[in-house]
């Protein structure tokens, strides 16, 4: 099993920045992709950004140019640097670890979530 623990959420004003962290432990070899998803009240969980073991990244159109996902393999940690935050970014952010083959998701692990609130 894989355990994922998020940190770094909080309250920030529009235009500000936050850096989320997700520390992974357990059977790290069980995943080949990590990412961030978010869920706002009344909405379904949506993809924010992903990064593969090889460093390939993918972003939702709504965050391109503002958010950056990165990894520190020595610490088994993935980060999400969020700049130019907007009120629309307010959501619970979840760290995800997955084993995928192309677009097929075979394994899925989730953190507990961390709240990000952006005020205007």
Annotate 75-111 with DSSP letters as a single string.
Answer: GTEEEEEE-S--GGG-EEEEEEEEEEETTEEEEEEE-
Q: What is the pLDDT of residue 15?
A: 98
**Strand, coil or helix: 73:** helix
List, run by run, the mean pLDDT of 10-residue segments along the chain (120 residues). 95 98 92 96 96 95 98 93 98 96 90 97
**Radius of gyration for the alpha carbons in the chain, expressed in angstroms and rounded:** 14
């Amino acid at each position: 099993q894989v355990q994922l623990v998020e940190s770094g959420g909080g309250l920030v004003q529009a235009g500000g920045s936050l850096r989320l962290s997700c520390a992974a432990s357990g059977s790290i070899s069980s995943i080949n992709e990590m990412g961030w998803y978010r869920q706002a009240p009344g909405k379904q969980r949506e993809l924010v950004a992903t990064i593969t073991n090889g460093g390939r990244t993918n972003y939702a159109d709504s965050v391109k140019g503002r958010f950056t996902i990165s990894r520190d393999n020595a610490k088994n940690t993935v980060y999400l640097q969020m700049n130019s935050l907007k009120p629309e970014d307010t959501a619970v952010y979840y760290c995800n670890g997955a084993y995928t083959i192309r677009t097929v998701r075979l394994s899925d692990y989730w953190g507990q979530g961390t709240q990000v609130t952006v005020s205007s």
